[in-house]
Structure 1
Amino acid sequence: SLVAPDRLRFDFTNPEAVTTAQLQEIEAGVNRKILENYSLNIVFKPLQQAMAEGAMALFGEKYGETVRTITMGGETPFSYELCGGTHVGETGDIGTFLITSESSVGAGLRRIEAVTGREAYQLIHRRFNLLNQTAGLLDTNPDQIVEKTRGVLEQLDGARKSISSLRRELIAQEFKLLLENVPLVDGVAVLTAILPEADGESLREMADRFRQKYQSGVILLASVYDGRPLLIAAVTEDLVARGLHAGELVKYAAQPLGGSGGGRPTLAQAGG
């Protein structure tokens, strides 16, 4: 943990992450105590007396016989601690408390980081400027950013689906032309083709269409989808009976790509 004039880092044991709602509750509670502007009461007293009165001590910290105690909250203090550091005179001197992050730092150990005072103000100022800039880019006001962003994302999702649908149609048309002009080698239909941006499902559908049309044939299709090479091989039953294996075929074809794959004798897939 760390306590500095303008920031803090607090490590504590907890089996799970602190939720957003809990963080908001913590932040609101601290700021409420700041706004109430309680005075700090500093008293030096024997360690045993302070501990008997319920003062909070840091685990692993070594204390002398006489300790410096701090209470906040008037006659019914909400905080009573052993502390040797320098502190503000009133809680209002802290200004503002903002939690900046909550994270895991080990098994069952969580960390909250926060800023206060001038640093908190500067953080608010930076984020307010960012909010205004984002609102300007979205051509809306800051209060409508979430709704506007949701609408833009929905439009983007719809556009992506339309593009994907059109791409599949174009690939299907291209494959239809290929399927109508498959060369025969000793009576066996042999088709190899590269269909850029076709996904694995599309390639498998094309391989099935090939096997439905040709009683004896072998097909090897290649694509690059999401930056990754894909290969699909399919072999008709008669050629499997003669020793041809789609898994071995696609595995061999994937070697130059540094990939691997496999599958059934009639249908197999590989990637790079």
Structure 2
Amino acid sequence: MTPDEQLDVQSLANRKIRENLSVTARETTYTDAVRDGALAFFGDRYGDVVRVVRMGHHDDHDEPFSFEVCGGTHVHATGEVGTLVVLGESSIGGGMRRIEATTGRAAEELFVEQSATLEAISRRLQAPVAELEARLDAYMADTEVLRRRLADAERASLRSEAESLLDRTRDIDGVKLVAGVTSAHNVEAMREMGDFLKQKLENVVVALGAVIDGSPIIVTMITPDLVSRGLHAGNIARDAAKLMGGGGGGRPETAQAGGRQPERLGAALDSVANLVRAGLGN
């Protein structure tokens, strides 16, 4: 159900509560109950004799508001329920859904609690409750702008790091090797750096490391021409990660691996040169 549909149910229920409809219960046969129009929701789970509950005005001899087979307890009049607040709805099985609500004193406590929360948010945002949605929209828009600016700044910073790594390119038996620790906060950023380096160099093996959420990560990337010479990014990443107490792997051209010892990240990256030599058969 949509929020508007749930609100419609809540409004209807509260209107009938205010009308203080009489609630009466009687026993009859299941067949007679269904023939008289009582709703039954669980089919053959009912016995031969069932309890039928009717909600309607005392002088209402026509269609009642509610008329169903129900074995549970009930109030004597709908007004005893008090205020009803719908909490939500969910699936309870194939083709069946349940709407949940709170009533009476509990509904009043919920209203007080939610009102206090709104007032607290109003004070924090320094805006009247009626203007909270507009103020929140403005904050979200500002946050999105700042997020994009931060992402651009981080991308520029990592690009600068990648360019500095170019100055440390090594030659390993005719293969260029770029390896180093970066300040990247996620693997996607490391891959962007690797793509940038591969565009700048030919015959290159790229091995980048970073500590992300406390764990060391290595991303390895290899140009296709070196794959044909026997190098495999997945094998290099896996074997380097062993020095960090971890493992991993991936495709011949791109791979990543992780470990449990961030202090060993530098040593793992240093080992890549020997792994390249071994992969070339030298």
TM-score band (shorter)?
0.7 to 0.9
Name the counterpart of 2:56: 72
Q: TM-score, with normalisation over the residues of structure 1? A: 0.77
CA gap 1:137/1:118 in 2 versus in 1, 3 angstroms? same
Cα distance in 2, alignment partners of residues 81 and 171 from structure 1: 67
Which amino acid in the other structure matches residue 62 of structure 1? G
Alignment of 1:1-272 (within 5 A): 18-40=1-23, 42=24, 44=26, 46-47=28-29, 50-57=33-40, 59=42, 60-62=45-47, 64=49, 69-73=53-57, 74-76=60-62, 77-82=64-69, 87-225=74-212, 230-236=217-223, 239-255=226-242, 256=244, 258-264=246-252, 267-272=253-258
> What are the Cα deviations for residues 70-89 of structure 1, in whole angstroms up to 9, with x where unaligned?
34142332222455665434
Instruction: For residue 94 of structure 1, report the CA deviation from its aligned partner.
Output: 1.7
2:102 aligned counterpart, secondary structure? strand
Cα distance in 2, alignment partners of residues 233 and 203 from structure 1: 9
CA gap 1:153/1:227 in 2 versus in 1, 3 angstroms? farther
> What are the Cα deviations for residues 111-157 of structure 1, in whole angstroms up to 9, with x where unaligned?
22211111111111111111111111111111122221121122222
8 Å Cα contact 2:165-2:179 kept in structure 1: no
Q: Comparing 71-80 with 28-37, which one deviates more in the overlay? A: 71-80
2:75 aligned counterpart, secondary structure? coil
Of all paired residues, the percent bearing the same amino acid is: 33
Which amino acid in the other structure matches residue 258 of structure 1? G
Q: Which has the higher helix share?
A: 2
Structure 2 residue ranges without an equivalent (≥5): 259-282
8 Å Cα contact 2:233-2:249 kept in structure 1: no
> What are the Cα deviations for residues 190-209 of structure 1, in whole angstroms up to 9, with x where unaligned?
22111122544443343344
Which amino acid in the other structure matches residue 5 of structure 2? Q
Which amino acid in the other structure matches residue 123 of structure 2? G
Which amino acid in the other structure matches residue 100 of structure 2? E
Instruction: For residue 228 of structure 1, report the CA deviation from its aligned partner.
Output: 6.4
8 Å Cα contact 1:38-1:72 kept in structure 2: yes
Structure 1 residue ranges without an equivalent (≥5): 1-17
2:138 aligned counterpart, secondary structure? helix
Which amino acid in the other structure matches residue 18 of structure 2? L
CA gap 1:152/1:43 in 2 versus in 1, 3 angstroms? closer
Which amino acid in the other structure matches residue 150 of structure 2? I
C-alpha RMSD of matched pairs (Å): 3.0
CA gap 1:107/1:238 in 2 versus in 1, 3 angstroms? same
Instruction: For residue 25 of structure 1, report the CA deviation from its aligned partner.
Output: 1.7
Cα distance in 2, alignment partners of residues 221 and 181 from structure 1: 13
CA gap 1:254/1:128 in 2 versus in 1, 3 angstroms? same
Give aligned pairs, total.
251
8 Å Cα contact 1:196-1:225 kept in structure 2: no
Q: TM-score, with normalisation over the residues of structure 2? A: 0.74
Which amino acid in the other structure matches residue 133 of structure 1? A
Instruction: For residue 212 of structure 1, report the CA deviation from its aligned partner.
Output: 4.2
8 Å Cα contact 2:239-2:247 kept in structure 1: no
Cα distance in 2, alignment partners of residues 115 and 104 from structure 1: 18
Considering Cα pairs closer than 8 Å and 6+ residues apart, tell me whether 1 or 2 has the greater RCO. 1
8 Å Cα contact 2:90-2:98 kept in structure 1: yes
